[in-house]
Amino acid sequence: MPGRASGARHQTGSNRFKRRVVRYGHFDDEGREYVITRPDTPLPWINYLGTEAYFGIISNTAGGYSFYRDARLRRLSRYRYNNAPLDMGGRYVYLRDDDSGEFWSPSWQPTQNELEDYSCRHGLGYSIICSTYKGIRGETTYFVPLGENLEVWRIRVTNERKTQALVSLFDSIEFCLWEAQEDSTNFQRNYSTGQVEVEDGVIYHKTEYRERRDHFAFFACSASLAGFDTQRDSFLGPYRGWDRPIVVEKGKATDSVAHGWQPMGCHHVKLELAPGETKEVIVLLGYQENPKNDKFDPPGSQTINKKRVKPIIARYLQPAAVEQAFTDLRDYWTRTLGILQVRTDNEHVDRMVNIWNAYQCMVTFNMSRSASLYESGIGRGMGFRDSNQDLLGFVHMVPARARERILDIAATQLPNGGAYHQYQPLTKRGNNDVGSGFNDDPAWLVLGVAAYLKETGDSPILDEPVPYDNATGTETPLYEHLQRAIQYTLDRLGPHGLPLIGRADWNDCLNLNCFSETPGESFQTTENKEGGVAESVFIGGLFVLAAQELAGLAKLRGDNAEANRSLAASEQMTDVVQKAGWDGAWFRRAYDYFGKVVGSRECAEGQIFIEPQGMCIMAGIGLENGMAQRSLASVRERLATPHGIVLNQPAYTYYHLELGEISTYPEGYKENAGIFCHTNPWLMIAEAMVGNGERALDYYLRINPSAREEISEIHRCEPYVYAQMIAGKDAPTPGEAKNSWLTGTAAWNFVAVSQWILGIRAAHDGLRIDPSLPAGWGGFSAMRRFRGARYNITVHKAPGSAGRVTRLTVDGRETPGNLIPLPTRPGQSFDVEAFIQ
């Protein structure tokens, strides 16, 4: 990659927050790792293992769990959410000094000994937890090899003493009885179903394998065993916790075989270590399926047929195979992140764009909203709108999987153009419990497909036959799905001509037709009150944007009739929004059930909302008549805080029956005046669109987790990934983040900074270079792979200037405007220079 154009480096924004700096770790940008250097982080700081089907979450103290594809239906190991102490259940390893009888966990939890040199290196798809205790060093590398349904724990124990050491090692995992909800509720049954087999030191968990399950888990160890345990009670001892298992205390496994109760896995290994010697032990936890008619060996017995799994186990118990798999994983991430790399004047921009934000986008794509420390893996399926937005952040990295995702999502669409709000990842079917009627949902599909086509040029996808509601025989080309999505809004307009909101729009908590008075009733699924006319200005803006995108796709197909129809509809809606949706100084939010305005200076609470400001401006509404600029000034005056832009002001101070869940949250949290980070990038994009790169970057840095690292004590969540929410100014703890990792914030921030601030944007007809930079920057450089070509981009900017690109050259040739035309053959490489005077 070419060097940075010019300008100051390592601007940390230290003056942004006036606070004592307490560090829990630091970024290692070269190694693409965040290195946590004390175990007692304000909250567990987690990472994800797995890239395809087998996944896990892992905290900096080895807490977490694993699952195959679906965190609810195929959970392999147990984790105790909301436990005290926090973060209980994990991939715990114990070491015991067999001379003194002392024992500890190299990952700090669960024994919490005072460790020397503790570190946890969270990398891309792996974590390495390491520490020393009284001269014995324990280091465990946890990762999932590409293409395999297993995880590796590579444990290295080193004797740093001057004398020989006799050390016992115990690994441990508590098995989940597969269905996570049942596992944590149905004890009258569960306590009697658990079953295992132990063969050649491998522990096989096979609860329900005797009946309808064709899958089992395995827990294997490369060393020869001094013993094992598979019954939790034998391992821990009655009334004991994971902090002092009796087996570890005594230094002797009991060879228990689980029958009912709580099956677990533990291998006991004895190590003799000369001074300076290191020994490596490999542990595998994995998942395996067998064909229904070949489950047992010998046939007719009740013994698991292990002929498929044994070669896999044998392979990964070899150090060389593990080393190779780890290298392959590192290479996979180098390739994946290599699609876009930037060098700018700001280290927080660089490390988020080049490493962490991109990584979070991939994790969000894989997990949707299922499994994190805040999503229990039980509750939510894949969101229709969420998945379409997640796509915006990863489509350039794995376009083939984006294609598959689009077709899956579209197949759950309803014949009337509407959508199930959620679908299940295993079955890929719409979720009837949550139902449909969130009237913004379908429009996001159009944005997702448009982004995919701009990135790939794969126009044949529009002709793919896709069913509605997964019903065979209902297939139409994907293109028609998009047309029906647009028509869905047009078929549901309210008295002002604005789109009816249905159950809710993007803001799931603005339930204008709900009127719920029953405690505990779900705001998402309660039957709406009949006869409402609640309308959404936000969907108005979203519609304008989506209709323009559909017009763009129609033009690609030469369907001029559709292009004209969509553009006309978009103009018509723009008009309506500017009339019924404009409050004088900002865009209104909605009209409620009774036709009363929401998000207006006429309201006592909730006068202004962030979402319509962002969405309407992104759709281009008000750019030419000053409304956009006026709206942005209002955001700055009323919503912006040092920790980010809050969702609404003033916060709702009591429950408004006619508004719904938004007013159940105490002031400053979540949708009630929290900094709902997902929405902030919309304002960054809007600022960039009106040419205010300075403010766009400023907003960006306020919520950028790396830029907030120095206030970790306030922020509390991981400094390497975005959180869904940061407490707003009305909360008792402004700046405190919650719900890290699985949030649309990841995709939208990636879009805002890479496509609008840095301005590198895929288009149907080429790659656009349209930065909107802060005055102080001297330009930047970037490498982008796009449609099979490589672009080495240098942006030169006269310091002090804040304009747009005035001149563009490609391989030295002048190119009009700011668009680099599509490459003509694969493998091309271009040197691009853009100038901002």
Residues annotated as part of the active site: 508
For 359, half-sphere exposure in the C-beta direction (CA atoms, 13 angstrom radius) is: 25
The region of 202-210, 320-328, 349-357, 383-391 touching ligand GLC under the rule CB under 6 A is 383-391
Number of residues counted as binding ligand GLC (CB under 6 A): 15
CB 509 within 8 A of CB 549: no
- Using CB under 6 A as the binding rule, whether residue 360 contacts ligand GLC is answered as no
Pattern 632-651, ligand GLC, x by CB under 6 A: --------------------
Q: Residue from 122, 267, 348, 369 that binds ligand GLC (CB under 6 A)?
A: 369
- Using CB under 6 A as the binding rule, whether residue 770 contacts ligand GLC is answered as no
Kindly tell me which of 258 and 651 has the beta carbon lying closer to ligand GLC.
651
The region of 43-51, 253-261, 323-331, 378-386 touching ligand GLC under the rule CB under 6 A is 378-386
The region of 23-31, 59-67, 502-510, 729-737 touching ligand GLC under the rule CB under 6 A is 502-510
Q: Residue from 346, 513, 724, 755 that binds ligand GLC (CB under 6 A)?
A: 724
Q: Residue from 183, 350, 441, 508 that binds ligand GLC (CB under 6 A)?
A: 508
Write down the least CB distance from residue 357 to ligand GLC, Å.
17
Kindly tell me which of 615 and 782 has the beta carbon lying closer to ligand GLC.
615
- Tell me which H or E stretch contains 443: helix 441-456
- Using CB under 6 A as the binding rule, whether residue 97 contacts ligand GLC is answered as no
CB 87 within 8 A of CB 93: no
The region of 357-365, 377-385, 538-546, 753-761 touching ligand GLC under the rule CB under 6 A is 377-385
Kindly tell me which of 32 and 670 has the beta carbon lying closer to ligand GLC.
670
Contacts of 430 (CB under 8 A, 6+ apart): 412, 414, 419, 420, 422, 423, 436, 469, 470
d(CA 314, CA 327): 19
Which letter does DSSP use for residue 593 in this model?
Answer: T
Give whole-number Cα distances, 219 to 60, 110, 154, 204, in Å: 22, 20, 13, 6
Write down the least CB distance from residue 421 to ligand GLC, Å.
8
The region of 316-324, 380-388, 533-541, 602-610 touching ligand GLC under the rule CB under 6 A is 380-388
Write down the least CB distance from residue 663 to ligand GLC, Å.
12
| Burial of 447 per CB tally in 10 Å (0-12, 13-18, 19+) | buried
Write down the least CB distance from residue 521 to ligand GLC, Å.
12
- Using CB under 6 A as the binding rule, whether residue 506 contacts ligand GLC is answered as yes
User: Which residue bears the tokens 């009150």?
Assistant: 529
**DSSP-derived 3-state class of residue 326:** helix
| Burial of 432 per CB tally in 10 Å (0-12, 13-18, 19+) | exposed
Q: Residue from 33, 97, 229, 671 that binds ligand GLC (CB under 6 A)?
A: 671
- Using CB under 6 A as the binding rule, whether residue 383 contacts ligand GLC is answered as yes
13 Ramachandran zone, left/alpha/beta (phi>0; psi -120 to 50): left
Kindly tell me which of 374 and 830 has the beta carbon lying closer to ligand GLC.
374
CB 251 within 8 A of CB 244: no
Write down the least CB distance from residue 743 to ligand GLC, Å.
6
Write down the least CB distance from residue 68 to ligand GLC, Å.
24
Kindly tell me which of 159 and 507 has the beta carbon lying closer to ligand GLC.
507
Q: Residue from 72, 215, 351, 385 that binds ligand GLC (CB under 6 A)?
A: 385
Write down the least CB distance from residue 181 to ligand GLC, Å.
16
Write down the least CB distance from residue 669 to ligand GLC, Å.
9
Kindly tell me which of 139 and 592 has the beta carbon lying closer to ligand GLC.
592
**DSSP-derived 3-state class of residue 677:** helix
Contacts of 41 (CB under 8 A, 6+ apart): 24, 25, 60, 712
Site for ligand GLC in 48-77 (CB under 6 A): none
Pattern 524-543, ligand GLC, x by CB under 6 A: x-------------------
CB 203 within 8 A of CB 218: yes
d(CA 205, CA 286): 10
Write down the least CB distance from residue 417 to ligand GLC, Å.
19
Kindly tell me which of 524 and 607 has the beta carbon lying closer to ligand GLC.
524
d(CA 432, CA 95): 49
CB 112 within 8 A of CB 65: no
- Using CB under 6 A as the binding rule, whether residue 736 contacts ligand GLC is answered as no
- Using CB under 6 A as the binding rule, whether residue 386 contacts ligand GLC is answered as yes
Kindly tell me which of 514 and 836 has the beta carbon lying closer to ligand GLC.
514
Write down the least CB distance from residue 677 to ligand GLC, Å.
10
- Using CB under 6 A as the binding rule, whether residue 236 contacts ligand GLC is answered as no
User: Which residue bears the tokens 């139902």?
Assistant: 435
- Using CB under 6 A as the binding rule, whether residue 507 contacts ligand GLC is answered as yes
CB 45 within 8 A of CB 122: yes
Write down the least CB distance from residue 670 to ligand GLC, Å.
5
Contacts of 5 (CB under 8 A, 6+ apart): 778, 779, 780, 781, 794, 795, 796, 797
Write down the least CB distance from residue 383 to ligand GLC, Å.
5
Kindly tell me which of 33 and 671 has the beta carbon lying closer to ligand GLC.
671
Task: Output the six-digit token pair for 127.
Answer: 């974590």
Kindly tell me which of 370 and 507 has the beta carbon lying closer to ligand GLC.
507
Q: Residue from 375, 441, 661, 736 that binds ligand GLC (CB under 6 A)?
A: 661
Q: Residue from 232, 295, 670, 768 that binds ligand GLC (CB under 6 A)?
A: 670
d(CA 169, CA 155): 10
Kindly tell me which of 640 and 742 has the beta carbon lying closer to ligand GLC.
742
Strand partners, 832: 793, 810
Q: Determine the straight-line distance between the first and last CA of the chain, rounded to whole angstroms.
A: 24
d(CA 541, CA 122): 40
Kindly tell me which of 123 and 744 has the beta carbon lying closer to ligand GLC.
744
Beta-strand pair 766-769/760-763: antiparallel
- Using CB under 6 A as the binding rule, whether residue 350 contacts ligand GLC is answered as no
The region of 174-182, 218-226, 381-389, 615-623 touching ligand GLC under the rule CB under 6 A is 381-389
| Nearest of 21, 103, 90 to residue 58 by alpha carbon | 90
d(CA 103, CA 160): 16
* Residue, CB closest to ligand GLC: 508
Extended strands (E) in 72-145: 75-77, 92-97, 103-104, 116-122, 126-133, 136-143
For 571, half-sphere exposure in the C-beta direction (CA atoms, 13 angstrom radius) is: 7
- Using CB under 6 A as the binding rule, whether residue 509 contacts ligand GLC is answered as yes
Site for ligand GLC in 741-760 (CB under 6 A): 743
Kindly tell me which of 231 and 516 has the beta carbon lying closer to ligand GLC.
516
Torsion sign, CA atoms 410, 411, 414, 416: positive
d(CA 461, CA 262): 49
**Cβ neighbours, 10 Å, residue 326:** 18
The region of 21-29, 382-390, 538-546, 750-758 touching ligand GLC under the rule CB under 6 A is 382-390
Enumerate binding residues for ligand GLC (CB under 6 A): 369, 380, 383, 385-386, 506-509, 524, 661, 670-671, 724, 743
